[in-house]
């Protein structure tokens, strides 16, 4: 009888220990799934941007690099591969010649890998965070609506055309670099005609705004606006992007 009691107690102890280990493993897995995978979180600006309504957004410090982009390509999630100019470090050169569909591929990949909801900025968010470092606009040379395009071309500062390394231009007080550089950045805002046009869903949007010296309307399939496809003002030199998020990923 004593042996039977001892065996029963031993079995109960084993069951209790096994149950405790299972609980610990489940808690550990849940905690791991709850937090972002920092291996896939890009370098973020040192401080969040506080918008006029008080909402904070967390912004990637630099535009996405070729090395970051090719990690997605090498994983089979991004169809286009990018190569840096000869002798340049792919970890320092911004990834460019990317259209809005390319960006969507990267977003789907990085959000799944990082377990964190990154997105593109809106035009209002981008304009707000860049306002203090963009050059002041000149008074228009022509006021007639028919000649507005001429005013834009004659008075706009010429953007830097050469693709330079990350950190080559200005940095905001929050630590966001190169908003005034040669790479124009895709935003999440759709352009479907005039302001009174019926809104369309993002997956059916014909064009999006790219932010730089001004807001340019770019068809979603265009990778090189210098060859055509810019609807407003001087064409962007290069098309790239940076990520933002509404939650602190760090």
Residues 79-89: pLDDT tens digits?
999 999 999 99
Please report which confidence band the pLDDT of residue 136 belongs to, taking 50, 70 and 90 as the band edges.
Answer: low
Of all residues in the chain, what percent carry a pLDDT higher than 70? 70
Helix, strand, or coil (residue 63): coil
**pTM, full prediction:** 0.77
Span 182-210, average pLDDT: 82
Span 191-201, average pLDDT: 66
**How far is Cα 41 from Cα 36, in angstroms, rounded to an integer?**
8
Span 125-138, average pLDDT: 84
Q: Is the pLDDT of residue 155 over 60?
A: no
Please report which confidence band the pLDDT of residue 230 belongs to, taking 50, 70 and 90 as the band edges.
Answer: low
* 58-94 core/surface letters (b: 16 or more CB in 10 A; e: else): bbbbbbbbbebbbbbbeeeebebebebeeeeebebbb
Please report which confidence band the pLDDT of residue 156 belongs to, taking 50, 70 and 90 as the band edges.
Answer: very low
173-187: pLDDT as tens digits: 999 999 999 999 999
């Amino acid at each position: 009888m004593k042996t039977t009691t001892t065996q029963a107690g031993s079995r109960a102890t084993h069951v209790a220990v096994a149950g405790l280990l299972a609980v610990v493993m489940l808690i550990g897995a849940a905690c791991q799934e709850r937090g972002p995978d920092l291996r896939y979180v890009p370098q973020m600006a040192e401080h969040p941007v506080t918008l006029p309504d008080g909402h904070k957004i967390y912004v990637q410090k630099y535009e996405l690099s070729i090395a970051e982009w090719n990690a997605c390509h090498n994983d089979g999630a991004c169809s286009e591969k990018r190569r840096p100019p000869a002798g340049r470090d792919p970890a320092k050169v911004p990834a460019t010649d990317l259209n809005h569909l390319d960006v969507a591929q990267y977003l789907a990949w990085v959000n799944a890998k990082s377990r964190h909801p990154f997105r593109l900025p809106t035009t209002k968010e981008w304009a707000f965070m860049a306002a203090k470092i963009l050059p002041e606009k000149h008074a228009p040379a022509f006021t007639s609506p028919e000649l507005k395009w001429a005013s834009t071309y004659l008075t706009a500062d010429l953007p830097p055309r050469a693709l330079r390394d990350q950190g080559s231009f200005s940095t905001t007080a929050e630590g966001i670099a190169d908003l005034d550089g040669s790479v124009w950045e895709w935003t999440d805002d759709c352009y479907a005609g005039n302001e009174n046009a019926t809104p369309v869903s993002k997956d059916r949007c014909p064009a999006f705004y790219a932010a730089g010296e001004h807001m340019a309307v770019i068809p979603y399939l265009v990778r090189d606006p210098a060859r055509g496809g810019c609807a407003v003002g001087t064409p962007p030199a290069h098309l790239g992007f940076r990520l933002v998020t509404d939650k602190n990923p760090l």
